[in-house]
Amino acid sequence: MENNDELIKSVTEKAQVWLSDAYDDETRAEVRRMLDNTDKTELIEAFYKDLEFGTGGLRGIMGAGSNRMNIYTVGAATQGLANYLKEAFSSLPQISVVVGHDVRNNSRKFAEIVADVFSANGIKVYLFDSFRPTPELSFAIRHLGCQSGVNITASHNPKEYNGYKAYWEDGAQIIAPHDVNIINHVNQIKGAEAIKFNGNKDLIQIIGEEIDQAFLTAIKGLSLSPEAIARHKDLKIVYTPIHGTGVHLIPESLKNYGFENIIHVPEQDITSGDFPTVASPNPEVPSAMAMAITKAKETGADLVMASDPDADRIGCVLRDAKGEYVLLNGNQIVMILLYYIMTRNAELGKLTGKEYIVKTIVTTETIKSIAEKNNIQMYDCYTGFKWIAAVIRDNEGTANYLGGGEESYGFLAEEFARDKDAVSAISLMAEAAAWAKDQGLDFLHLLQDIYIKYGFSRECGVSVVRQGKAGAEEIQAIMRQFRTTPPKEIGGSPVTTIKDYDSLTLTDVTAGTTTKLDMPVTSNVLQYFTADGTKISVRPSGTEPKIKFYIEVKGHMETPADYDNAIAAADAKIETVKKDLGIA
């Protein structure tokens, strides 16, 4: 490993390249300031490596430097993607792309740079006139018949971050072989001189309202219970965009569905990349929902919902039996939406026997029970909506997609977009609440009804953080230990099945047999299933210095009165499981 003097020498040489005339005055001034500072920490952080273009694109802290999000790292990513598009679609007379962005600081600037670089390379660009939800970009790629798209967003990351998501012609984030090919092309861009920044304005077309209306019309077409909404159009719905892109389209979509009592959180309707009212703009964090819950208490709202800054994730709160507002977890959100869509399609006689749903391997197994009892096929895929989109693509034209989701608060109800979509998810969640009211059920009793019919489950996620090089080695050692010495018993129940997605093997412990798992690629994930239905998933994070444990335990519930006891028993079981795994 380099000592500090060697590291400082290396980053200084790298930074001095950024003082050339190929870089703008603002960037040169910022780099010079870092070079002149006697404390070299900031310089090292900005230049010790290149911001890596991975399978999901770019994500990083904004600022000058090779390891930062700025016009040069964004420009290099776009130049590499443009070079690959020209290679992959060489037979087309005109390649076209869609470019969008969220509300973050610098997002519009970066989006315009992306448009300029694409157009300078002879590629037609459809550039949104302002911020839009991520799923609308996915929709627009398909709607306009484009070959690719780029969205400037860092989703629900802190305000210092921004990101760059690349999409393919099907509207999905990029998978093999295109991901590796694009990365190779991006890595070939060695400096600002290799980037074509001078855009061709004739190839840039501004889009906006017409795409909004097409997108909202398509989402309205997903509605399954307009009569129930008409009966409960005054349902009190608090919605917050948490300063993000959902501010216009989600209330409009709810109104399109027929809801007339949408209650805003005015302070959070202000679009801002500083996210001034929250520590983290993430709807799965209770503090991000606090202002919406306060508004719900003031108004006696039936339902509280939120979207993250790029409006692809959904947060949802319901009232419990004591009148308190309680956050649903991501598993419950996906389960309720899939239950509603499957059940309602059955009621309407729309099922043909060719329907299917998709969930990720770490998402609750209760969804599988619901699908099986409704004779609907369920696919398991890896974490990330690009894998759900891949299942949709494989089944296009032969089977009917009803919906899919993952425990990290993402859901997709449609085929006309291929990334998780809070616009449609929030609209359908409100519709599900109206449909439940028709049956005399509030949302809490709807959730309990699902548990009574299909089995109670309780989920818990634990992240064990291990920083630095030593931490990364420790995480590898933990995974190795679980592989070589798997637990024989978890939570007092014997392990019956082990799935190792790195070797794509399924071991039936009871029978002593091993079979192959049918997955498109390998992934560093381990799963253990016990005789009493407990499921443990273990995987290192791909983006952070942590190892993640996903725990799901089963329980018993016959009536709504059993709910609190079922939760208490499950929580006690989860604590035992944590101790058995050594993560208590």
pLDDT tens, 35-81? Answer: 999 999 999 999 998 998 887 789 999 999 999 999 999 999 999 99
How confident is the model at residue 3, as a pLDDT?
A: 65
Residues 355 and 473 in one domain: no
Number of domains in the chain: 3
How confident is the model at residue 332, as a pLDDT?
A: 97
Residues 285 and 356 in one domain: yes
Cα–Cα distance for residue pair 550/511, rounded to 1 Å: 26
How large is the average pLDDT for residues 96-114? 98
**Catalytic residue list contains 155:** yes
Residues 120 and 253 in one domain: no
* pLDDT value at 2 more than 60: no
How confident is the model at residue 543, as a pLDDT?
A: 62
pLDDT tens, 199-214? Answer: 999 999 999 999 999 9
pLDDT tens, 350-406? Answer: 999 999 999 999 999 999 999 999 999 999 999 999 999 999 999 999 999 999 999
DSSP 427: H
Q: Facing residues of 116 across strands? A: none
How many Cβ atoms are within 10 Å of 409's Cβ, its own excluded?
Answer: 27
* pLDDT value at 327 more than 60: yes
Residues 438 and 476 in one domain: no
Give me the half-sphere count of Cα atoms (radius 13 Å) on the Cβ side of residue 500. Answer: 15
Residues 470 and 423 in one domain: no
Indicate the SS3 state at residue 204.
Answer: strand
Characterize the bridge pairing of strands 400-406 and 410-412. Answer: antiparallel
Characterize the bridge pairing of strands 355-360 and 400-406. Answer: parallel
Residues 295 and 437 in one domain: yes
| 49 phi/psi in degrees, rounded to 5 | -155, 170
Cα–Cα distance for residue pair 301/306, rounded to 1 Å: 14
Indicate the residue among 418, 451, 484 that finishes a domain.
Answer: 451
How confident is the model at residue 1, as a pLDDT?
A: 39
Q: Is residue 8 part of a domain?
A: no
Residues 420 and 554 in one domain: no
Cβ–Cβ < 8 Å for 554, 456: yes
Q: Is residue 31 part of a domain?
A: no
117 Cβ contact partners less than 8 Å away, ≥ 6 residues apart: 75, 78, 79, 82, 195, 196, 197, 199
- Range with the lowest mean pLDDT among 53-57, 264-268, 320-324, 413-417? 53-57
Q: Is residue 377 part of a domain?
A: yes
* pLDDT value at 453 more than 70: yes
Indicate the residue among 430, 451, 472 that finishes a domain.
Answer: 451
Q: Is residue 310 part of a domain?
A: yes
Q: Is residue 223 part of a domain?
A: no
* pLDDT value at 325 more than 90: yes
* pLDDT value at 455 more than 90: yes
CATH number of the domain that residue 554 is part of:
3.30.310
Q: Is residue 15 part of a domain?
A: no
Catalytic residue, candidates 138, 155, 307, 427: 155
Cα–Cα distance for residue pair 369/364, rounded to 1 Å: 10
Q: Is residue 3 part of a domain?
A: no
Mean pLDDT of the chain: 95
Residues 446 and 472 in one domain: no
Please give the residue that has the higher pLDDT: either 467 or 92.
Answer: 92
Q: Which two tokens stand for residue 54?
A: 């991975």
pLDDT tens, 110-162? Answer: 999 999 999 999 999 999 999 999 999 999 999 999 999 999 999 988 999 99
Residues 74 and 151 in one domain: yes
The dihedral of CA 415, 420, 425, 426: what is its sign?
Answer: negative
Residues 248 and 276 in one domain: yes
Q: Is residue 399 part of a domain?
A: yes
CATH number of the domain that residue 73 is part of:
3.40.120.10
62 Cβ contact partners less than 8 Å away, ≥ 6 residues apart: 68, 69, 70, 105, 106, 160, 161, 162
Indicate the residue among 398, 426, 451 that finishes a domain.
Answer: 451
Cα–Cα distance for residue pair 71/24, rounded to 1 Å: 10
pLDDT tens, 232-284? Answer: 999 999 999 999 999 999 999 999 999 999 999 999 999 999 999 999 999 99
Full domain range(s) for residue 183: 49-207
How large is the average pLDDT for residues 481-508? 97
- Range with the lowest mean pLDDT among 292-296, 319-323, 552-556? 319-323
Residues 440 and 464 in one domain: no
Residues 461 and 416 in one domain: no
* pLDDT value at 320 more than 50: yes
How confident is the model at residue 321, as a pLDDT?
A: 80
How confident is the model at residue 253, as a pLDDT?
A: 98
Cβ–Cβ < 8 Å for 238, 294: no
How many Cβ atoms are within 10 Å of 531's Cβ, its own excluded?
Answer: 15
